[in-house]
Amino acid sequence: MDERVLKWLFDIKMAIEEIDLYFEKTDKDFDEYRKNTMLKRAVERDLEIIGEAVNRIIKRDASFINTISNAKAIIGLRNQVIHAYDNISDENIWSILINHLPKLKSDIDKLITDNK
C-alpha cells in the first residue's frame, strides 16, 4: 500500500478515536450533544478530517471507493460541513456518529491490519 494512503488511513483512525474520546466519560445522548456547541464543533472538525483524508485516498487510488463504505457520502459530508456550515443538521451528524462511524472504523481498522 502507498505510504501516503496508509498515513491518511491512520488520520481517519485517529479522528474516529478522538470522537470516541469525546463520549468516553458520558453516555451518547443526543440532547446533550445538541446543547454542547464545543462538542458539536469538535465532532464536525473530526468529520472534516475524515472526509478530507478519504478524498485524498480516492484521488490517489480510486480502488478504495469500493473498500471504504460510503466514501462518496463521507466526502460529501466534509464538503457540507466546510461550505454549507449553516445547513448542518444536528440530527444528521448524530445519525452518522451512531449508525455509520462504527462501520467506517471497522473498514479502516481492516485496511490498516491487512497492510501489516
Distance between CA atoms of 48 and 83, rounded to whole angstroms? 11
Helix-, strand-, coil-residue percentages of the chain, each rounded to 5: 85, 0, 15
Catalytic choice (34, 60, 78, 100)? 78
- In order, the DSSP letters of 15-31 are HHHHHHHHTTTS---HH
CB distance 16 to 40 below 8 Å: no
Please give the backbone phi and psi of residue 23, each rounded to the nearest 5 degrees, phi first: -110, 15
Reply yes or no on whether 78 is catalytic. Answer: yes
Catalytic residue annotation:
78, 83
